[in-house]
A and B are shown apart, each in its own frame.
Chain A
Amino acid sequence: MKKSILTLAFVLLWIAFAQASDPAFIAAMQKQLEAKNTIATFEESQAVTNGFLRIAEATETEWLPYYYAALLKTEAVFRFDIEKDKTLDEALELVKKAEKIAPENSEITALHGYILMGKISLDPGSRGQSMSPQAMQLFGKAINLDRENPRAVTLMAQMELGMAQFFGTGPEKACGMARMGLDLFKKETEKVTKDYILPTWGKSQADEVASKCN
């Protein structure tokens, strides 16, 4: 009896302390992910980014909070009037931190490429030549790491479309990839449960590429 009470006490203690790692982490992430969906201003974006960074700071072993913080900074560059180059560099730093925690991760690799796409868009004339191949390589690597990653396929489709437009060639390749991305998004939706905190963004990008195809 004595022994089992002791066990119970330790189990309860363990639950009390272990909260930090599992359900509390998920709850905290979900709270920020919810807030992420309603961002309307840069200040709100910054507050949610900070929220993810607090989680990253407290857990130290989770790549997702760094991932989302980097993603938010990247999206902020496209949405708000801020110092774009600097913000993308900050996003790159965060991606590197995520990569350190989870090397060879398809989602992080795809996001890395997405940030490079942002950098290219700021000065395509002089950056395109050296950075486009880097971005393409990253998307290729992300697809190889996880063939089911719809974001990797969609981002690659976006790059292909940009290039097809530039060189006046047909969008067939980009269209094929966008369709593949949309299929993967459909598959992904089936996986999403209440506790799902992995990335799910990117369908609108795939839709946009697909809308250029007949």
Chain B
Amino acid sequence: MNLRLLLFITFTLIQTQAFAQARIQGKVLDEKGLPLPGANVQLKGSFDGATSEQDGTYQFETSLTGEQVLIFKFLGFKTQELTISLDQNALKIQPIRLIEEITDMNAVTISAGAMEASDASKSVILKPLDIVTTPSAMGDIMGAFQTLPGTSTVGNDGRLFVRGGDASEVGIYIDGMRVGNAYGTTTGNVPTRTRFNPNLFKGTFFSTGGYSAEYGQALSSALALNTKDLSVRSQGDLSVMSIGGGYSHTLANEKQSITASANYFNLGPYQGLIKQEIDFDSAPHGWDMELAAQKKVGENGLLKVMARTESGGMSLWQPLPGTENKVLVDLKNDYTYAQANWRTALKNDWIVFAGISYSKNFDNLAYDSLIIERKSELAHFKGTATKDFSDRLSAKFGAEHFIHPYAEKLVKEGWERDFDDHETYLFTEWDYYLNKDLVFRGGLRAGTSTVSEEKWLDPRFSVAYQLSDKGQLSFAAGSFHQLPVENFRVLNTDLENSESNHLILNYLFSKEGFTFRAETFYKSYDQLVTFEGLPDSPEGLKNDGSGYAKGIDFFFRDRETFKNTDYWITYSFVDSKRSFNQYKTEVQPSFAPKHNLSVVVKHFIVPLNSQIGASFSYNDGYSYTDPNLDNTEMNAKTKSFQNLSLSWSYLPKPNLIIHLACTNVLGRDNVFGYTFSPKTNTEGVFASIPQGQVAPRFLFLGIFLTLSKDKTANNLNNL
């Protein structure tokens, strides 16, 4: 090589870099051709570039020459590259249109039927913390959900009732795995609670209908609870309550964490102080132990394991209408739940999930001299794979298998009956974004059951459209199947699925601090179980019932208008009629009051380090059959249900919380229905007993202390 030439080139190169500056200018537009300010324009591999101005134009100078690549970048838009040829002259670049990328952040989400409680969700309906700070909930997950649209409060039951559906129509899942017997077993009008402590969960997804093809065996609603990921730090949490106490300890590092806890409760001492309406022989009591562990596996994988076992019981004297006699009812319950699940992201935008769960419930119920034992088990195996084909199209595929044995026996007589069902499901769900404002979702779920010898198919469809910056409209439709409850199936194993079809139209408006939601729905019921006789001794069970539920509900939440104050108002109207159980005609079920209202207010008083809360629930009464009126069914209605609850949480120190709460402060004598004697008395009247509350009020006092090296820790989440 000619050395002189080499030197010459070298010097020219340096010179070019030092002196020749060519001006590049152009314009950046969005999809619609409007100017796009703020985009970053740059020559690849160099510092030369500029930001587009308000009118979309940009200009900058460069000393580079030859073939170069111009990059257009803007967060939320697809990056574009343009090869240009540079000499030392000014260059005008053709206008570039950037296409917006569809992401979780900017795209419309389907909100028909769906309510998400997580810190991440865009519109705030319910937050995880609300579950522990809603006064009427008393720390029960379902109690908090009873303040949301589409639900009704049935105070002597405690479970979740959604839009004219009975409590069994709500499917409960933890990390996508079905939970069998999620509520504690109860008897004699004592309301139950969810077995699971809200502090296990980082978020919940609650659907009041039209939900994803991933879930099934629930005619009304799916409730998906998602457990926490890795714990941040090691700590101990101690709770001392008016009804018991517990301790939980967490060990954590960056790769894994484990929490072990044990609790004991006994309402005996409390009930000794405060008179109860129910005559308890032995107050509700129980203990539980729980273990939850999380571990990072590989770069993107997470393994979660959870196991819980508990035991409890109660016994009470149940009055009989028309007599002075009482019957002793004694209940013992043992319950175990365990699950493991693993999720990881693979290459090529695949996410896979595998899970296994097992629930076992054992009840021993003595009713006078009659002793009944019930044993139910549910094993669930599930695998899913999700693939993002592009930012517009994604698909989920899944397979599930359930093993579900059930047995009940009369201990003294030695009579036993059982069934052992195996169910298999396949499902798929596809999301397609036409653009970021319009999404379609189609799903299909197929199932089989060995006991009912059936195969069925549930198509589901939904669409969401962004109307404006803050408002959106969604629509959902779908078909849902559910096998009858265990104690019916065991009597007649030929019973098939009940069926429901949903139509839902939803409007959602959300902006910083405000959420407004309105939803109207229609659902049909078919193949409901009917029988002769009363629910304790049903005969001739058939899939012969049908019905409908329709209505509208409104929800408004405001965290902005009043300082340190957060409140929400819910009104739900449900018009539901069905022929089911012993009812020959289509009647309004006792668990579906027409007008339902709830108001929750929380206010933080800074100088007192306190949060005070109030919640008020109202419905217009429960229907029941009064044989003294005429011989039609559901011919009467109780007076309205009203409950005002108050709570006070005081944080004297970062790691200490004192929580005081009282339900039904006004002491309203709520009645949920009446029990009538089977025969008339001497005056020709059917005597009755109201089904009321356990006590006019329930008072709760708890002290929660967090022990950790980090003094800022407290266990507000553990209330």
- A interface residues (Cβ-Cβ under 8 A, vs B): 2, 5-6, 8-9, 12-13, 15-16, 19-20, 24-25, 28, 43, 46-47, 50-51, 53-55, 57-58, 86, 89-90, 125-127, 129-130, 132-134, 136-137, 163, 166-168
Contact = CB atoms under 8 A, between A and B. Distances in A.
Contacts of B51: 46-47, 50-51
Contact of A53 (B40, B45, B105, B710): B40
A8 B716 CA distance: 70
B7 interface: yes
A132 B710 CA distance: 11
Contact of B609 (A50, A55, A134, A167): A167
Contacts of A12: 7, 10-11, 14
Given A6-B6, A15-B14, A133-B712, 16 more contacts: A5-B7, A8-B7, A9-B10, A16-B13, A16-B17, A46-B51, A47-B50, A53-B40, A58-B46, A126-B128, A126-B129, A129-B129, A129-B716, A136-B710, A137-B710, A167-B652
Interface string B35-58: 001101010011111110110000
A2 B609 CA distance: 83
A25 B47 CA distance: 8
A57 B653 contact: no
B47 A133 contact: no
B678 interface: no
A46 B607 CA distance: 39
Contact of B654 (A50, A137, A163): A163
Residue of A19, A57, A134 contacting most chain B CB atoms (<10 Å): A57
Chain B contact residues (Cβ within 8 angstroms of A): what range?
35 or more
B485 interface: no
Contact of B712 (A13, A24, A163): A163
Nearest to B53: A43
B129 A125 contact: yes
Contact of B119 (A24, A25, A126): A126
B233 A19 contact: no
A130 B199 CA distance: 12
A28 B47 contact: yes
Interface of B: 3, 6-7, 10-11, 13-14, 17, 37-38, 40, 42, 45-51, 53-54, 71, 73, 75, 105, 119, 127-129, 232-233, 566, 604, 606-607, 609, 651-654, 710, 712-714, 716-717
A133 B42 contact: no
A160 to B, nearest CB: 9
Nearest to B602: A125
Closest A-B pairs by Cβ, 6 of them: A50-B40, A47-B51, A50-B51, A28-B47, A12-B10, A54-B42
Contacts of A13: 10, 13
B719 to A, nearest CB: 11
Contacts of A25: 47
B609 A130 contact: no
Given A9-B3, A126-B129, A134 B45 contact: no
Contacts of B40: 50, 53-54
B75 A16 contact: no
Given A24-B47, A166-B609, A125 B604 contact: yes
B38 A43 contact: yes
Nearest to A5: B3
B511 to A, nearest CB: 11
Contact of A9 (B7, B712, B717): B7
Contacts of B3: 2, 5-6, 9
A28 B60 CA distance: 14
Contacts of B233: 133, 137
27 contacts: A2-B3, A5-B3, A8-B7, A9-B7, A12-B10, A16-B10, A16-B17, A19-B17, A24-B47, A28-B47, A43-B38, A43-B54, A47-B50, A50-B49, A54-B49, A55-B47, A57-B71, A58-B46, A86-B105, A89-B105, A125-B604, A129-B129, A130-B119, A136-B712, A137-B233, A137-B710, A166-B606
